[in-house]
């Protein structure tokens, strides 16, 4: 049966693209205005672009948001790339910019399925035979344990180093690259937290297996952002049109940075920045990106006013470990913005309080009893998101 062909466009951003299936097609494949012939019989085959591992992260300037690779090909059937059995679009999870709305929605669907698996006492054996290595150069409770729980609940096994900075060969001077090349020989996927911004990208360049960034210094924390957006959708019932107040340490907070990148994917979002002067969001950081994406943002010194307008008050702690010896600046910042019963009184009934945890005193303990306190539900959602990511990176959709 004959069918008409059409021309489509797909865009690649830092290793992420929507792959399109071509059947019995003659045509021309375009990469940045350079043409390549397409064979006559491509039944069940896919457009092939360079593997993210081969691109090398240090060359990503060519694949930045400002210079996407555009490809065009004649095609008959456009089969969604999220079909069960297909390979996941990403080789690694390094930063929030890798995701678009379609992939986010698809990941959230898988996370819903993971919730069902978690509630089933018999569990799952999807990842039986796979080994996950966790390399944590900074302290972690929720992230490390949720990843390890996620792997075990799917039938996999875990190799763990809780304090790799002190109790691994890094203490002897081994480079990160050598550590990664060694550990990949023992495992199928590496989850890494590091104290240096950009360390996860370096690891992904060196590794031949998937790398998941579990936080790289003040850089990014993409899996936290995924669970945050997932939580907002579940708690508020929508993502488009939401108003989110980001509160606390915005200069050093990798969670708020990654979350802002993901929120920019949605329509009519407004972000409020509320922080002490010493830890304000940098002008050349997220603010420029949000402006370029047409996302409305506003800085405010009045948490009470912002809380009355927002759907989400996203509180964060002032990070003592980022101040070094400047304890005077830390003391200046800590305790200035606290979510307490007074803040709850001005918040809307449907609004929620979120926090990536751990907290110190920036959320009063008596807030916990309020149903709008979503931070422990938020932490639980991290298990489902991380189960979904491990499944997708290791066995696909």
- Provide the annotated active-site residues: 142-143, 172, 193, 221
Q: Which of 301, 333, 331 is nearest to 316 (CA)?
A: 333
Q: Which of 200, 204, 232, 227 is nearest to 214 (CA)?
A: 200
Intra-chain end-to-end CA distance of the chain, in Å:
30
Phi, psi of 29 (to 5 degrees): -95, 125
Q: Which of 215, 249, 206 is nearest to 359 (CA)?
A: 249
Helix-then-strand count for the chain, H and E: 13, 15
Q: Quote the tokens at residue 144.
A: 């490390």
**Which positions ≥6 away from 184 have C-beta within 8 Å?**
133, 190, 207, 208, 209
**Which positions ≥6 away from 368 have C-beta within 8 Å?**
376
Quick one: CA torsion of 288, 293, 298, 299, rounded to 10 degrees? -30
With residue 352 as reference, give the H or E element that holds it: strand 352-354
Q: Which segments of the chain does DSSP mark as H helices, in order?
A: 52-55, 101-119, 142-153, 164-167, 176-183, 199-206, 222-236, 254-263, 288-292, 303-309, 327-333, 341-346, 375-395
User: With the C-alpha atoms ordered 191, 196, 199, 201, is the resulting torsion angle positive or negative?
Assistant: positive
């Amino acid at each position: 049966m004959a069918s008409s062909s059409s021309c489509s466009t797909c865009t690649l951003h830092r290793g992420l693209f929507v792959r399109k299936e071509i059947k019995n097609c003659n045509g021309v494949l375009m990469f940045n205005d350079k043409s390549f012939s397409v064979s006559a019989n491509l039944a069940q085959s896919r457009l092939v672009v360079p593997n993210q591992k081969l691109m090398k992260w240090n060359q990503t300037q060519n694949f930045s948001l400002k210079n996407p690779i555009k490809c065009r090909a004649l095609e008959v059937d456009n089969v969604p790339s999220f079909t069960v059995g297909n390979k996941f679009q990403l080789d690694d999870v390094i930063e929030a910019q890798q995701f678009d709305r379609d992939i986010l929605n698809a990941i959230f669907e898988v996370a819903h399925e993971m919730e069902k698996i978690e509630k089933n006492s018999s569990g799952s054996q999807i990842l039986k035979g796979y080994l996950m290595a966790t390399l944590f150069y900074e302290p972690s409770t929720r992230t490390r344990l949720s990843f390890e729980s996620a792997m075990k609940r799917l039938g996999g096994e875990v190799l763990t180093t809780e304090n790799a900075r002190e109790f691994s060969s890094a203490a002897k001077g081994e480079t990160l690259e050598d550590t990664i090349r060694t550990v990949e020989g023992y495992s199928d996927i590496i989850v890494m937290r590091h104290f240096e911004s950009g360390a996860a990208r370096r690891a992904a360049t060196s590794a031949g297996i998937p790398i998941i960034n579990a936080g790289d210094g003040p850089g990014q924390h993409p899996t936290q952002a995924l669970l945050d957006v997932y939580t907002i959708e579940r708690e508020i019932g929508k993502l488009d049109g939401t108003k989110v107040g980001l509160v606390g340490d915005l200069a050093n907070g990798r969670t708020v940075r990654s979350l802002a990148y993901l929120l920019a994917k949605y329509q009519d979002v407004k972000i409020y920045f509320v922080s002490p002067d010493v830890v304000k969001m940098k002008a050349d950081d997220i603010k420029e990106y949000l402006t370029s994406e047409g996302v409305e943002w506003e800085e405010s010194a009045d948490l009470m006013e912002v809380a009355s307008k927002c759907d989400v008050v996203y509180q964060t702690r002032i990070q003592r470990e980022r101040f070094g010896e400047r304890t005077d600046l830390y003391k200046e910042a800590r305790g200035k913005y606290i979510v307490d019963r007074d803040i709850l009184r001005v918040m809307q009934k449907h609004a929620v309080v979120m926090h990536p945890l751990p907290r110190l005193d920036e959320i009063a303990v008596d807030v916990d009893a309020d149903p709008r306190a979503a931070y422990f539900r938020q932490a639980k959602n991290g298990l489902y998101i991380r189960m979904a990511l491990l499944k997708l990176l290791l066995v696909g959709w």
